[in-house]
Amino acid sequence: MEAVVVDNVTKTFRIATDPSDSLKERILRFRRTNYEEFTALQPIDLTIEIGETVGILGHNGSGKSTLLKCMAGILTPTTGEVRVRGRLASLLELGVGFHPDLTGRENVYINASFYGMSRRDVDKVFDEIVDFAELAQFIDEPVKHYSSGMYVRLGFAVAVNLEPDVLLVDEVLAVGDEAFQNKCIGRIRSFQDEGRTIVFVTHDVETVRHVCQRAIVLDHGHMVIDSHPSKSIRVFREYLHAHTPLHAAAELSDSPVLFTDVRVSHANAGTRRHLLPGEGFTIEIDVETTHPVDQPVLAVEVCDSAGAPIFRIDTDGLGTPLGRIEGRRTLRVDISNVELL
């Protein structure tokens, strides 16, 4: 069943060609302002099922935030329509929905009222909101004194404690510190377990890879690809690294081998996303092929937090050919000791 339907949606903005032309000047000179039209979204068709988590990727100006605002009802599409099933909560821009002169406490109640919650309903979850945001010491201070990170923490805490059926999140999570980002991802995963629908815009492709079931890539208002996160990320990265137009990158990325899941585990520590010097690990990779592939080479590369490679092996160099792979398979690599540079 559909949670969000984007049906042939476009969005066009009118931009004044002479921004210095004030209303007073137009009246005094009996002239109209000339406008140019800017199309931020070309016709977009997108259906998101209940319980799906979908990531939206794209360069700055690609239309990501415009699409999310149309989903949230903040912007009205120029053509087409958006249909949302159930209660929707959104965290789209830093400070949106907060009055700077009011306290954090007052803003919680006002913000929640936008989603149809009564004061009594907010009373029941108020302590949870404050605890999640970690702002008990500052909740009665005007939010104009809050840092950007505090804004994000309070906004996200309100949104997720409204128990929405659909949650929309823009790139604002990038403002928070790492500990709070992990906390937010934890809440998103609990939402997934509860069957809620999540759509978020981010530049963190690894979050998209590990959290989303689908990912779409936008380029100048066009939806270039709607696919498994691994394939969509590959298209997006090819564009970033080679400055290839995204539609061309999508064609180049039509690889016969698709990575559907990757799991890294450690003998004594289970699954985690970081590696210690001298530590061994096991990597399992689920692959799916569109047609039989002979003698593929599998490479495993370890990078530091800045993305610089510090360790690499491949099956060709190890003298362990994979032979022929076809259909769905799980490839397993055991590495006993990694000497990180």
**What is the DSSP annotation of 80-99?**
EEEEE-S-EEEE-STTTT--
Q: Which two tokens stand for residue 144?
A: 């104009």
**Mean pLDDT in residue range 206-234:** 90
Pairwise CA distance, residues 37 & 47, whole Å:
28
Strongest mean pLDDT among 19-33, 64-78, 105-119, 301-315: 64-78
10-19, 98-107, 140-149, range with the lowest pLDDT: 10-19
Residue found under tokens 């081998």: 257
Percent pLDDT > 90 in the chain is 34
Query: In the 8-state DSSP scheme, what is residue 143?
Result: G
| 175 three-state secondary structure | helix
Report whether pLDDT(121) > 80: yes
Task: Count the Cβ atoms, other than its own, within 10 Å of residue 6.
Answer: 22
**Mean pLDDT in residue range 275-297:** 80
Phi-psi region of 278 (alpha: psi -120 to 50; beta: other; left: phi over 0): left
Query: In the 8-state DSSP scheme, what is residue 128?
Result: H
Task: Count the Cβ atoms, other than its own, within 10 Å of residue 63.
Answer: 23
Distances (CA, A) of 126 to 88, 101, 105, 309: 19, 20, 9, 45
Domains by residue range for the chain, with CATH: 2-252 (3.40.50.300), 257-335 (2.70.50.60)
The dihedrals phi and psi of 143, each to the nearest 5 degrees, come to -70, -10
- Determine the pLDDT at residue 252: 46
- Report yes or no: 212 and 229 within 8 Å, Cβ to Cβ: yes
Pairwise CA distance, residues 91 & 69, whole Å:
10
Query: In the 8-state DSSP scheme, what is residue 34?
Result: P
Q: Which two tokens stand for residue 258?
A: 């698709």
Q: Which residues pair with 222 in a beta bridge?
A: 219
Q: What's the gap between Cα 254 and its chain centre?
A: 23
The string of pLDDT tens digits covering residues 1-19 is 899 999 999 999 987 666 5
| 135 or 295: which leads in pLDDT | 135
Q: Which two tokens stand for residue 177?
A: 């510190």
Q: Which two tokens stand for residue 100?
A: 């700077």
**Mean pLDDT in residue range 134-150:** 91
Q: Which residues pair with 88 in a beta bridge?
A: 166
**DSSP β-ladder status, 53-57 and 79-84:** unpaired
- Determine the pLDDT at residue 103: 95
Task: Count CA atoms within 13 Å of residue 227 on its CB side.
Answer: 19
Q: Which of 92, 93, 125 is nearest to 108 (CA)?
A: 125
pLDDT band at 130 (very low <50, low <70, confident <90, very high): very high
**Mean pLDDT in residue range 218-226:** 91
Pairwise CA distance, residues 231 & 217, whole Å:
10
Report whether pLDDT(309) > 70: no
Q: At what angle do helices 119-133 and 148-160 cross, to 10 degrees?
A: 130
- Determine the pLDDT at residue 226: 94
| 245 three-state secondary structure | coil
Pairwise CA distance, residues 244 & 240, whole Å:
7
Q: What is the pTM of this model?
A: 0.67
| DSSP percent split of the chain into helix, strand, coil, nearest 5 | 30, 35, 35
Find the angle CA(180)-CA(185)-CA(187) to the nearest 5 degrees: 95
**Mean pLDDT in residue range 134-148:** 92
Report whether pLDDT(82) > 80: yes
Q: Which residues pair with 223 in a beta bridge?
A: 218
Q: Which of 165, 162, 167, 75 is nearest to 118 (CA)?
A: 162
